[in-house]
Each structure stands twice: as structure tokens, then as C-alpha cells.
Homo-oligomer: A and B are copies of this chain.
Amino acid sequence: MEKIKLSEGAGGEMMQKMISEIILSNLENKNVNGGIGLDELDDGATIPLGKSEIVVTTDSHTIDPIFFPGGDIGKLAVSGTVNDLAVMGARPLAIASALVISEGFPKKDLKRIIKSMNKTCKEVGISIITGDTKVIEKNKFDDIIITTTGIGIAKNGEIKPDSGLEVGDKIILSGTVGDHGMAIMAHREGFGFETNLKSDVAPVWDVVEAALNVGGVKAMKDPTRGGLANALNEMASKSGVGMLIYENKIPIKEEVVAASEMLGIDPYEVANEGKVIIGVESDLAEDVLEAVKKTKHGKDAEIIGEVTDDKHVILKTSVGGKRILETPVADPVPRVC
């Protein structure tokens, strides 16, 4: 009897295959009013309604540990949901939050998590409007799972699907890669170097709003599970294009490079939780970059490459060579979001 593998929930190719074979193929009603639906596997779905598009996204957060350098599961849940709405081009409006808590979970930890959700909501101006709480037996599960569903809104025609890229567009990355995955991994393993590593978890609506205000944005994606490598490949593949990425333009912290070398983990394949990839038409790329760099979460942004008519994402390495940046089989760090 075939069983679900851990790697089938870790972003990347294995997960896409399982979802396609077991989930997508057994569902028939997958969109509403011709909006973006389940088959598109975008960051969210859309419901066209009069002159508006309601945008919906959902994520269960099962991170281990629940408190980590730079954040906690509450900040992660709200940020992740805000970011999925934002990269669809939607203004985040509301969150529905469903908690599954283990019997015996400390009430002070729950309070700390809720306060963290509150703080992150206030930063973005989003509200938690409905919720659910379940408590299950200790021996079933020893932690907390937070499922946040986000509701956002955009004007008709202003949605930014992953598939919106065209040849010649520039690719902007809003900041350094690998911080979240590496911070979680280092903290979990208890190595000596974790003090300098901090998750980047944050809501990036400020970055997205700044970019949208300039204009020219074609497609956006937040590089979570499977990291930058997964996100760039998904955007390219859905748009039917390739990319040329200049490795020396990819912002990355020295300590992330060091940790990735020690752990043997590719920093382009691990999750980020406060970054956005923005595909922009060439003429406006410098203006968008400038606007993004003025935001709190976009200071380290760079134009890292451009869209090509190739069918691959090609990485031009610092020493001048070229290699294909492949879709990872699965995120090398499990339980990361």
C-alpha cells in the first residue's frame, strides 16, 4: 500500500506530483466564475465579483520549533498569508484563523503566539475576523497547528498571476535569500553559529504596494517552500518562458553562505518568509527597484535577472559559468512553515 512521504509535503517536484495525482485529478469544481482556481496552483485563488476580484489563500503552519530566531508561528502564519495575497496583487483585508492545539500546551505560549499575530496584523492593517479552536489528545500530537486563510481584494484585471511573465521582463528580488530556512535549521540542530542567523519572516505588503504604485508589474511570487529555485522555476514554467539569473546579483548574507556550506544545504532551495520575487516590464524595472528599496522590507532589493525565451532558469555563476537552476525535488529543511 502506497503511503504519503515526508518529502511529498516539502514543496518541489515530489509534492507537485502527489497533489496533481491524488488531489487535483479527483476534484471537479475547482474555480468560481472563471477566476483563478485550484488547477493553477498559484499563491491564491480569485473570485471575480462585479468590479472586484476577491482573492483567497490558505496555509496550515506546522513549523518546528514554534519559537525561533526572528519570529514565531504566529508571525509566520499572518505574514505567510499576507504575502500570498500580496503577490497575487491583492490588498490584504482579513484573516480566518483555525487553531489545533495539543492538550497540555502552555497557555502562556498560546498568549504569546496570539499577541504576535496581533502585532503582525496591525503592521499590515489586516483583521482576524473569524476563527476556530480544536484541542486534541496529547499522544496524537505535541504542538500547535495554525491554519490561516486570507481574504484580499483587487480591481478586475489587476491580479498578478505567476503566469504573467513575458520575454524581456526584469526579475527583482526584494532582499536576501535563505534566511528563514537556514535560521530554522541551524537553531534546530543547535550548532554554534546560529546566533547570527535570523528568520526574515515578515509581511511584505509594503514592498508589493510600492511596486504596484509604480506600475509595470507582470507577476509576483513569494519564495517559500523550495526557496528561490522553486519559485523562479514555477513562474517560468507557468509563463512558458526561461530566465537568466546573475548569481552575483542575488542578495545573500555571509552567515547564510557559511551555514549552507557547513550543512551542505543549497540556500536557493530553502524557504524565505519575508521576500518577494517581482517580474516587471523592462522600462519600469529601475523605477520599481527604487520604490521597493525605500520600503522597510525591500531595502536590499536587486534586479537579479531577466526573462528569456529559453525553457530553463539559467544561473550565470559568479565565475562566469552557466548552470541550470533546477526545481528542487523537495525542500531540504522539513517543517519550515
Q: Interface on A for B, CB 8 Å cutoff?
A: 1-10, 15, 18-19, 22-23, 26-32, 35-38, 42, 44-45, 47, 49-50, 52, 54, 56-60, 62, 93-94, 96-108, 110-111, 114-115, 117-118, 121-122, 125-137, 140-143, 145, 147, 149, 151, 153, 334-335
Contact A9 B133 (CB under 8 A): yes
A116 to chain B, nearest CB (A): 10
Contact pick for A145, options B6, B126, B145, CB 8 Å: B145
Question: Quick check: B94 and A56 within 8 Å, CB to CB?
Answer: yes
| Residue in B closest to A107 when the chains form the complex, CB atoms | B2
**Are the CB atoms of A9 and B114 closer together than 8 Å?**
no
What B residues does A108 contact at CB under 8 A? 1-2
**Interfacial chain B residues near A27, Cβ < 8 Å:** 114, 117-118, 121, 128
Inter-subunit contact A23/B131 (CB<8 Å): yes
Q: In the complex, are the beta carbons of A96 and B15 less than 8 A apart? A: no
Q: A32-B129, A98-B149 are in contact. List 19 more A-B contacts (CB 8 A).
A: A4-B102, A10-B135, A22-B107, A22-B114, A26-B111, A26-B118, A29-B121, A29-B122, A37-B127, A38-B128, A49-B49, A58-B96, A58-B147, A59-B98, A60-B132, A62-B136, A100-B145, A137-B335, A147-B149
In the assembled complex, which residues on chain B have CB atoms less than 8 Å from the CB atom of A122? 28-29
Contact A38 B145, CB 8 Å, known A26-B114, A32-B93, A151-B54 = no
Q: Assembly of this chain: how many copies?
A: 2
* Contact status B96-A23, CB under 8 Å: no
Bound complex: CA of A271 vs CA of B58, how far in Å?
Answer: 26
| A135 in contact with B28 (CB, 8 Å) | no
Q: A115 CA to B302 CA in the complex, in Å?
A: 45
Top-3 shortest CB links A-B: A9-B135, A45-B129, A58-B96
Contact between chains at B105 and A56 (CB < 8 Å): no
Determine the chain B residues whose CB is within 8 A of the CB of A62 once the complex forms. 100, 134, 136
Could you tell me if B56 and A114 are in contact, using CB atoms closer than 8 angstroms?
Answer: no
Beta-carbon nearest neighbor of A337 in chain B: B134
What are 7 sample pairs from A and B whose C-beta atoms fall under 8 A apart? A2-B108, A7-B135, A9-B136, A26-B114, A32-B127, A36-B129, A58-B149
Given contacts A47-B129, A110-B22, A145-B145, contact A135 B58 (CB under 8 A): no
